[in-house]
Chains A and B, each alone.
Chain A
Amino acid sequence: MTAAVVLDTARTGERAAARSPRWSLWQRWGLVLVLPYVAVFLVFVLYPVGYGLWLARHPASYERLFEDPIFFRTVVNTIVFIVVAINLKMVVALMLSGFLVQDRWWIKILSVIFILPWAVPSIPTILSVRFMLNPEWGVINTLIFRLTGADGPNWLNDPTLALGFSMLMHVWKSLPFWTLILVAGRLAIPGEQYEAASVDGATRWQKFRFITWPSMRTLYLTSTILSMIWTLGDFNSVYLLTGGGPADLTHVLATLGIRYLRLDQVDLAMASIVVALPLVLPLVWFMMKRLSK
Chain B
Amino acid sequence: MAAVSFRQVEKTFGSTSVIHGISFDIADGEFTVLVGPSGCGKSTLLRMLAGLEEITAGTIAIDGKVVNDVESKDRDIAMVFQSYALYPHMTVAENMGFSLRLRKADPKLTADRVAQAAKILNLESYLQRYPRELSGGQRQRVAMGRAIVRDPKVFLFDEPLSNLDAKLRVAMRAEIKALHQRLKTTTVYVTHDQVEAMTMADRIVVMHDGRIEQIGTPLELYDHPANLFVAQFIGSPAMNVVEGRVRVREGAGWVEADGGARWPLPSTEGLSDGQAVAYGVRPEHLALARGEAPVTAEVIVVEPTGAETELLVEAGAAQILVVCHGRTEARPGDRIGLDVDRAAVHLFDPASGQALTGLHERATAAAA
A: residues with CB less than 8 A from B are 1-8, 10-11, 15, 18-21, 25
Say whether A19 contacts B54, CB under 8 Å: yes
Q: Is the Cβ of B18 less than 8 Å from the Cβ of A6?
A: yes
**Beyond the given A7-B39, A7-B43, A8-B39, could you list 18 further A-B residue pairs with CB under 8 A, ordered by the A residue number?**
A1-B14, A3-B39, A3-B41, A3-B209, A4-B38, A4-B39, A6-B13, A6-B16, A7-B18, A7-B44, A10-B13, A10-B44, A11-B43, A18-B53, A18-B54, A19-B54, A20-B54, A25-B71
- In chain B, positions 56-81 with a C-beta closer than 8 Å to chain A are 71
Residues of A with C-beta under 8 A to B17 = 3
CA distance A25 to B72 in the complex (A): 12
Contacts of B41 in A (CB 8 A): 3, 7
> Among A7, A8, A18, A25, which residue has the most Cβ atoms of chain B within 10 A?
A7
Chain A residues within an 8 Å CB radius of B39: 2-5, 7-8
What is the CB-to-nearest-CB distance from A4 to chain B, in angstroms, rounded to a whole number? 3
CA distance A76 to B7 in the complex (A): 74
B53 partner, pick from A3, A19, A25, beta carbons under 8 A: A19
Return A36 CB to nearest CB of chain B, in Å.
Answer: 25
**Pairwise interchain contact B16-A10, C-beta atoms closer than 8 A:** no
With both beta carbons as reference points, the residue of chain A lying nearest to B209 in the complex is identified as A3
Residue in chain A with minimal CB distance to B47:
A10
Chain B residues within 8 Å of A25, by CB:
71
* Chain B positions within 8 Å of A15 at CB level: 13
Report the interface size for chain B: residues with CB under 8 A from the other chain.
Answer: 17
**In this complex, what residue of B is CB-closest to A2?**
B39
Instruction: Please give me the 5 A-B residue pairs with the lowest Cβ-Cβ distance, nearest first.
Output: A4-B39, A3-B18, A6-B13, A6-B16, A7-B39
**Closest chain A residue to B44, Cβ basis:** A7
Q: Which residue on B lies nearest to A9, using beta carbons? A: B13
Q: Measured between C-beta atoms, what is the minimum distance from B17 to chain A in Å?
A: 8
Closest to B38 in A: A4
Which of B13, B16, B17 is most buried by chain A, counting CB atoms within 10 A of its CB? B13
Q: Which residue of A lies closest to B20 (CB)?
A: A3
Among A3, A5, A15, A21, max chain B CB count under 10 A is at A3
Instruction: Please indicate the chain A residues that have their CB under 8 angstroms from the CB of B18 in the complex.
Output: 3, 6-7
B97 within 8 Å of A (CB atoms): no
Minimal Cβ-Cβ distance residue in A for B15:
A1
User: Please, how many angstroms separate the alpha-carbon atoms of A6 and B13 in the complex?
Assistant: 7
Q: Does B131 contact A (CB under 8 A)?
A: no
User: CA separation between A18 and B39, bound complex, in Å?
Assistant: 18
Q: Once the chains are docked, how many angstroms separate the CA of A91 from the CA of B275?
A: 79
- From known contacts A11-B43, A25-B71, infer whether A3 and B54 are also in contact, taking CB-CB under 8 Å: no
Residues from chain A with a CB closer than 8 A to the CB of B44 are 7, 10
30 residue pairs of the A-B complex, CB under 8 angstroms, read: A1-B14, A2-B16, A2-B39, A3-B16, A3-B17, A3-B18, A3-B39, A3-B41, A3-B210, A4-B38, A4-B39, A5-B39, A6-B13, A6-B16, A7-B13, A7-B39, A7-B41, A7-B44, A8-B39, A10-B13, A10-B44, A18-B13, A18-B14, A18-B53, A18-B54, A19-B52, A19-B53, A19-B54, A20-B54, A21-B54
A3 to B13, alpha carbons, bound, how many Å? 9
B69 — nearest CB in chain A belongs to which residue?
A: A21
B38 touches A10 (CB 8 A): no
Over the window 1-31 of chain B, the binary record of Cβ atoms lying under 8 Å from chain A Cβ atoms (1 yes, 0 no) is 0000000000001101110000000000000
**How far, in whole Å, are A4 and B17 apart by their CA atoms in the complex?**
11
- Assess whether B210 is in contact with A10, with CB atoms less than 8 Å apart: no
- Cα of A150 to Cα of B159 in the assembled complex, Å: 84
Please give the distance in Å from B51's CB to the nearest CB on chain A.
10
